[in-house]
A and B are shown apart, each in its own frame.
Chain A
Amino acid sequence: MGKLSATLWLILLMLPQQLLANSQFNMREGVTDISNNVYQLHMTIFIICCVIGVIVFAVMFWALIHHRKSKGAIPAQFHESTKVEILWTAIPFVILIAMAVPATKTLIAMEDASKADLTIKITGSQWKWHYEYMGEGVAFYSILSTPQEQITNQADKTNTYLLEVDKPLVLPINKKIRFLMTSDDVIHSWWVPDFAVKKDANPGFINETWTKINEQGIYRGQCAELCGKDHGFMPVVVEAKSEQEFATWLADAKQAKQKAAAADAALLDQTLPKEELMTLGEQVYMASCAACHQPTGMGLPGVFPALKGNPVVLGDIKDHIDVVLHGRPGTAMQAFAKQLSIKQLAAVITYKRNAWGNDTGDVIQPSQIQAELDATSEAK
């Protein structure tokens, strides 16, 4: 017994810290105090489990080797011992208490509800994230930016394959940030391993969690709760900047919003050529519609309707615009009025009405979209 377990002990003591710390295949230590605590906790339990395992199995394999029938072992007659039973009920109990203490501390530290410096509202929807900087008037969708060709293996995959988005969530470091989570449709779960933050976004309810990032950098995560077809294609990317850089970024974002509004206003007087709208429309369609309605416009029978030959797409323009703007309640069809610009909306509707043999010849202008928005809302 002595030699075997001594060797195992030695291996065990040498193994963990160097090999496992920040290895590609261990939990990440991350960049917040909490994630660090969680990592320590994980390693502690892991090592305790290893030690227990080594001891128990050393005993078992000892028996398997030395108490074999082929070696002429004669079975002993004992088959119970209250003392031993009590002992091996009590010892695990003590070990558990030793584990529970740091776990409880970390958990309570995680749920510190004191005031935060910045609040971000995160809304999950099929299959993108929406970020709102509460009280700042800045909000945007964050969508997977990996090209379809890479996913279908027609182009080489880049290093950030499936972990890249068009607009990352930008956050300042050294500030307490509060995340409010909710969902637009099904349950999603917002996860950034480097922050040890994973929280479900439940439709109709709001969840809350906090973080304080210690280091600048780009941190990537994914949706962690099965949310339908493209669950694997809604990554989370966070860019942590210094406080000054963040302030500059936020100011720029506010300006960009005004510029976009001005550009929209200028579009109202223009008539865009069909070719331009079709080209832009195809891009928008592939980014925002093709996940469900498919690049071929054929949909998925019984799940997502085909747009080719679809009565709404071939029918009245106003009805078509209405569906795209406001979605269909209780289905996966989302409201795109706030997700896309009026130019994008005009382009994608033009595209749908002319692609895949839907040869209506209709060309929709941004002004028509705006008119439809105005008809129902003076707010814009």
Chain B
Amino acid sequence: MSHAPLLKRLVLICLGMFAFAFALVPLYDVFCDVTGLNGKPSLEQAKQSTSINEAREVDVSFTTHAQSGAPFTVQSAEYSVAVKPGAMREVVFKAKNLSNEDKVMQAVPSVSPGKAAKYLHKMACFCFDQQPLKAGEEVEFKLLFYVDTELPDDVEELTLSYTVFDISSQLVASN
């Protein structure tokens, strides 16, 4: 009996599973989108809201955090706003480069509770793009968002958190 056919199949399984480990990366994102596993909201511009639920109000609060070594401050004008599901809301964020070099900033949004992530729709957000900031430059960003009318009833407040990273050196590395 020849071992070759079985051997070939087993090696293929191994290669397949190695590929599967990498396939887990996009699969994980899809899974997170569906279940709100890691509270990562979409980085795509959302569609217009079609209806407004006048009867309900949800508190949306904002917090930002510059990662260790990222020389930025980002601050929302308001700490918390009350919104009606479906209604558009604008919040101004002030961002500043604290260093004396030109830097590129990337803000990463995260929503808590995680299951609310897919109900927070952003029409405009500075987190959609990398933001170059000159040395000492201060800019205002507008965040335009609404909360989906489908938001589960038990969620009474949600938090949109931005973690701000300095990605200047990574850009240099990949160029």
Contacts and interface: CB of A to CB of B under 8 A. Distances in A.
A and B touch in the complex (CB under 8 A): yes
Q: Is the interface of A mostly helix, strand, loop or mixed?
A: loop
A7 interface: no
Given A115-B156, A185-B68, A377 B96 contact: yes
A376 B98 contact: yes
Interface residues of B, number: 40
Contacts of B70: 329, 335
Q: How large is the interface on A (under 10, 10 to 19, 20 to 34, 35 or more residues)?
A: 35 or more
Interface in A316-370: 322, 326-331, 333-335, 337
B39 interface: yes
A246 B132 CA distance: 43
A203 B113 contact: no
B61 interface: yes
A273 interface: no
Contacts of B66: 335
Interface string B64-78: 011111110100000
A115 B110 CA distance: 19
A294 interface: no
B154 A123 contact: no
B175 interface: no
Nearest to A123: B65
Contact of A328 (B69, B113, B155): B69
A205 B156 contact: no
Given A330-B169, A334-B68, A379-B96, A206 B112 contact: yes
Interface in B75-131: 79-80, 96-100, 108, 110-114
B163 A114 contact: no
A125 interface: yes
Contacts of A132: 63
Contacts of B63: 121, 132, 134, 180, 206
A115 B161 contact: no
Given A114-B154, A121-B63, A379-B96, A206 B68 contact: no
A377 B39 contact: no
Interface in A204-226: 204-208
Contact of A207 (B69, B112, B156, B169): B112
B150 to A, nearest CB: 15
A184 B161 contact: no
Nearest to A115: B156
Contact of A326 (B59, B99, B114): B99
B159 A375 contact: no
Given A204-B110, A204-B163, A208-B112, A376 B71 contact: yes
Contact of B159 (A180, A184, A322, A333): A180
B39 A335 contact: no
A75 interface: no
B61 A204 contact: no
A184 B161 CA distance: 13
B80 A327 contact: no
A206 to B, nearest CB: 4
16 contacts: A112-B154, A115-B157, A119-B61, A180-B159, A180-B161, A204-B67, A204-B108, A204-B163, A204-B165, A322-B100, A326-B99, A333-B69, A334-B69, A335-B69, A335-B71, A377-B136
7 smallest CB-CB distances across A and B, nearest first, come from: A329-B69, A327-B69, A208-B112, A206-B161, A115-B156, A206-B110, A184-B68
Interface of B: 38-40, 59, 61, 63, 65-71, 73, 79-80, 96-100, 108, 110-114, 135-136, 138, 154-157, 159, 161, 163, 165-166, 169
Given A134-B63, A327-B69, 4 more contacts: A115-B59, A115-B156, A330-B169, A333-B68
